[in-house]
Amino acid sequence: MNSKKSFALHLIFLLFTSVIGHAQKREMHPKNEFRAVWIATVVNIDWPKNNMDSVEKQKADFIETLDTYKKLNFNAVIVQIRSVGDALYPTTLAPWSRYLTSVEGQAPRPYYDTLQWMITETHARGFEFHAWLNPYRATFDLKTELLSNSHDFYKHPEWMIEYGGKYYYNPALPEVQQHLTAVVEEVVKNYDIDAIHFDDYFYPYKIKGIEFNDSVSYKKLGNGLSLGDWRRLNVSTFVKNISFTIKNIKPWVQFGISPFGVWRNKSVDPKGSDTVSGQTNYDDLYADPLDWMNNNWIDYIVPQLYWSIDHKTASYAKLIKWWSENTPNNTALYIGNSSYKIKTDSDKKWNNIYEIPNQIDLTRSYENVQGNGFFSAKCFINKNLDVVKILKEYEYKYPALPLPVPHFKKEISDSLAINSITKDTVNYYITFQKPINTKVRYIVVYGAKEVSKININDASQILEKIAVQEDSTDFNIQVPCYKLIGNTAFAFTFVDYYANESPETIIDLKVETQTK
């Protein structure tokens, strides 16, 4: 399809979504929106690019990823820190990942706490850091000779079940649940993360003709339940325990899950979606996201709607409607999008460079859908630059701030009090008093031509989102002078650890700035 015709269709889609019945929310440039990208480390999908890379190259590549997505006005990264019973941080509960150091159990050389470093670099660019763990997958293949002696495969072989060329932790065992909960607990305690994130791997995707052999556990622990109900109970109990563990340590740390995109097919359950999916969360993965949400165990959900808008068996349009209607108000709903399919899928709809932009537009037409996550990071790094150009010019033209998830929303009465503003030829330097009642994560800077034009609900006025150190006496930030070209007014707000934003403090630069 030629580009002029595709662009015309894109504009028609925008007009269409602005008038259809559910599309009351339609905002071209929302001030608040979750914009996330998954950074997969398993088998070096996104980062590190190669497990033989030097620490210097690893760091440079991770920073390139952050900077690429900052230019695209994203605001969150979901980084895989445990994929197959391993870790990208120092711990006695798992060996160092071979995807990081080439040899499982071997620490980086020269040594650095990879997770701590990534969090620092991420926050410095104004992103949220969501720590992504795969709890149940123990290995990626059967090459157990590559595993460290400290891997759970060797330490606790009784926990393992082989299925489809991989080993999995047995979700039924209380000792497995305790161990995996301890893994999460350690991360939450030791690292300044914004969220714990699980994806779609619970009980493994079914393989025709092969049974997941948990019969001994079922016989011992089934307690009269059907096999399906028992497996779902195992997963739900684990999700509940993880939720309580996180909130008991740091209540501001979110717990989010990104399940497979289909809960159940309508042909099996009238409450299900109008889809013909070969596998579903409820019936095949034994995961029940509706149960988790209804019990307030998760803060946000990101169903993976990895199909084109009008796909025959699992339509993005039908599924986003279903999730919007079945996600309760106590859970933030974002949508997972498959940027990895652009120009690479058997569904030729993915050859249209407007497929992802149109999916974002459709997402915005639902009032209770608050953003998107994209799998995976490498898809917009020096690739698919025609799609990137569209996103930069239209959907993601301006920055956006993530919304506080429903459990965390509150009004902030504190505002920023300014001690001083000075400038030189390069920067403005602003010092603030620390708010008395609120723990601050970021300061947001807005700019306008004059004080009367300041509007912090206008995304185009967002100039910068700056991380601050809570352990300092005052907050000191600097804003490059070039950011204020054409403007004479600043507004400042702060964002707390729950992602709530304070009222603005407005200043007139012509009146209140001293020159160094």
CATH number of the domain at 180, please.
3.20.20.80
pLDDT at 15: 46
Name which residue leads in pLDDT, 387 or 486.
387
Q: HSE-up of 491 (CA within 13 Å, CB side)?
A: 21
Tell me the pLDDT tens digit for each residue of 65-124. 999 999 999 999 999 999 999 999 999 999 999 999 999 999 999 999 999 999 999 999
Contact 337/359 with Cβ under 8 angstroms? Answer: yes
420 and 403 assigned to the same domain: no
Average pLDDT, the chain: 94
471 and 403 assigned to the same domain: no
N- to C-terminal Cα distance for the chain?
57
Q: What is the mean pLDDT of residues 6-18?
A: 48
pLDDT at 465: 97
452 and 324 assigned to the same domain: no
R_g of the chain computed on alpha carbons: 24
Tell me the pLDDT tens digit for each residue of 251-294. 999 999 999 999 999 999 999 999 999 999 999 999 999 999 99
Residue 171 corresponds to which amino acid?
P
401 and 439 assigned to the same domain: no
Q: What is the mean pLDDT of residues 235-248?
A: 98
331 and 421 assigned to the same domain: no
31 and 179 assigned to the same domain: yes
At residue 334, the 3 state secondary structure works out as strand
pLDDT exceeds 90 at position 514? no
Task: Quote the number of domains for the chain.
Answer: 2
Q: Per the omega criterion (within 30 degrees of 0), is the bond before 357 cis? A: no
* Structural domain of 431: 410-515
Q: What is the mean pLDDT of residues 457-480?
A: 93
pLDDT at 24: 52
199 and 282 assigned to the same domain: yes
